[in-house]
Structure 1
Amino acid sequence: MFELVKAGGWLMLPIIACSVVALAIIVERFWSLQQRRVNPRQLVVQIWQMIQAGQLTEDRLRQVRDGSPLGRVLAAGLINMGHTRDVMKEAIEETGRHVAHDLERFLNTLGTIAAITPLLGLLGTVVGMIQVFSVITDVGVGSPGELAGGISQALITTAAGISVAVPSLIFHRYFRGRVDELVLEMEMESIKLVEVIHGEREAAGA
């Protein structure tokens, strides 16, 4: 492996750095975007039960807000549940935009890595071919060993760039879809809470 990196030249260093960053983002996003961490099941039902039992204290509300992204959104509505339905929805929507932005954290970086690593590989190809032509200019085509160095650099950097870009792009698209799915679920749960509190929906159907 070290020999391949060495043969690829200095452009292998940023490609390797991109691969390490991409792997760290992928692992972190898989951990952070789990269903149970973002949208805990039955949270609206639990909140309604606390309201009915008169147990929704400031401490309980803080626990709901800090427990998950969905809890943060619902807590924004609960703080304003004494106001009209529209005010409650506006508070939820405003917080929801911030939460959705947080769920997309690092995805732009992952997308950037997917875009630039093939370009770094292409740059390595260009540098390698320049080296080949320099050798031809200096010693002619009678030195296969000298020519092989530039050609191997061109091929290795291209392969490395594509190898990093493909999984980065796949996971970037996957996490984008995952965030959209989670945000949609969050919106549905928020609507349930608003409708239950304002008597437009039966609690049993929450």
Structure 2
Amino acid sequence: MLEIYSAGGILMYPILLCSIAVVAISIERFWTLNSQKIAPRHQLGEVWNWLQKNQLDAEKLKQLRQSSKLGRILAAGLSNSRHGRDVMKDSIQEAANQVIHDMERYLGALGTIAAIAPLLGLLGTVIGMINVFTALNLEGTGNAGALAGGISEALITTAAGLCVAIPAMIAHRFFVRRVDTLVVTMEQEAVKLVDALHNDRRVDVKVA
């Protein structure tokens, strides 16, 4: 394996760094974008229980804000609920924008790696073919080792770039989809809270 890596030339180093970044980002995002950490199933019910028992105070709001991303959004809405429905919705939207930004962290880098890894491989291919033609010009077709080395470098970097890009693209789309799903879930929970507090329509809030 080390011999194959060495035969790929200098562009194998950035490709290797890209592969390490893909693994690190994927593990971090998989751990971070856990639905039970982001939007616990019974959190809205717990909040509604506090409201019904008149237990919601500054300490509860602080606890709610620190408990999860959904809790942060709900706490922002509850903090401004007395100012009316529109102000409450604006507060929820502002908090949601910050939460979504946090959830999308590193996904841009993952998408960038998926785009540039094949280009690095292609660049390695071009450099390898340049080496082949240089060897042909200088030594003719008699030096099979030089020709084989250039062709090997071209093929290895191409394969390495694709081996990094394909998993990176899969991971990027997977995590983007997960973020979208979590955003929809949090939006639904926030709407339930707004409607329940301002009684615009009957809302079924499940209490944990």
1:64 maps to what in 2? 64
**What pairs with 1:84-123 in structure 2 (closer than 5 Å)?**
84-123=84-123
Q: Secondary structure at the match of 1:10?
A: coil
Q: Corresponding residue for 1:35?
A: 35
Number of the residue aligned with 1:191: 191
Distance 1:2 1:36 in 2: 41
In 2, the alpha carbon distance for the partners of 1:173 and 1:91 equals 30
Distance 2:64 2:75 in 1: 7
The C-alpha deviation readout for 1:47-81, integer Å capped at 9, x for no partner, is 01111222212121111111111111111001011
Q: TM-score of the superposition, structure 1-length normalised?
A: 0.97
Q: Report the alpha carbon displacement of residue 201 of structure 1 after superposing the two structures with TM.
A: 4.9
Contact 2:128 2:152 (8 Å CA) reproduced: yes
Letter of the aligned partner of 1:29 in structure 2? R
| Cα distance in 2 for residues equivalent to 1:12 and 1:201 | 60
Q: TM-score, normalised by structure 2?
A: 0.96
Aligned to 1:133: 133
Structure 2 residue ranges without an equivalent (≥5): none
Distance in 2 of aligned mates of 1:166 and 1:137: 36
Q: Distance in 1 between matches of 2:152 and 2:86?
A: 65
| Maintained 8 Å contact 2:9/2:153 | yes
Moved over 4 A (4+): 201-204
Distance of 2:86 and 2:106 partners within structure 1: 33
Q: What per-residue deviation string (whole Å, max 9, x for no partner) do you get for residues 113-146 of structure 1?
A: 0000000000000000011111111110011111
Secondary structure (helix, strand or coil) at the match of 2:141 reads coil
CA distance, structure 2, for counterparts of residue 162 and residue 198 of structure 1 = 54
| SS of match in other structure, 1:119 | helix
TM alignment of 1:161-200, pairs within 5 A: 161-200=161-200
Opposite residue 73 of structure 1, the aligned amino acid is I
Aligned length: 206
Report the alpha carbon displacement of residue 204 of structure 1 after superposing the two structures with TM. Answer: 4.6
What CA distance in whole angstroms lies between the structure 2 residues aligned with 1:118 and 1:59? 52
Superposition deviation, residue 4 in structure 1: 1.0
Partners in 2 of 1:75 and 1:131 — Cα distance?
62
Which 5+ residue runs of structure 1 have no aligned equivalent?
none
Query: RMSD of the alignment, in Å?
Result: 1.2
Query: Identity over aligned residues, as a percent?
Result: 53
- d(CA) in 2 for partners of 1:204, 1:122: 56
Distance 2:4 2:54 in 1: 66
